Amino acid sequence: MKKTKLINSELSYEISKLGHTDEITVADCGLPIPKDINRIDLALVRGIPTFKDTLEAILLEMEVEEIVLAEEIKENNSEILDFIKEKLGDKKVNFISHEEFKKRTLHSKTIVRTGEASPYANVILKSGVAF
């Protein structure tokens, strides 16, 4: 049996395949997901699972060196922005427009869809190295 806390096998598998600088996106339930990108759909109903719970679970296994956020989160979702900053500490943060953010998701290896229903609750996580 697995020793780490993340028990979603598909999510754990996708994280294990990441190399340095690969990206995954954690998304609210409204972010469009390109048809050719792997989707892990965790959403059950609005609000379950939350963006916060999902991000915390991913960070149990993923080494992150940089993040990308939509500029609009600053004005429209300070609660999620503060949470991201708290969890990711001194990681490099790049802010881009929401339209650019949606285009950037085309580079993600996987997009994880949560049940989050608050605006701009999306983050692109760039994989770091654990050594």
Q: Looking at 7, 10, 17, 20, which residue is catalytic?
A: 20
Is residue 107 part of the annotated active site? The answer reads no
Q: How far apart are CA 47 and CA 89, in angstroms?
A: 25
Residues in the annotated binding site for substrate? 28, 98, 120-122
Residues in the annotated binding site? 28, 98, 120-122
Catalytically active residues, by annotation:
20
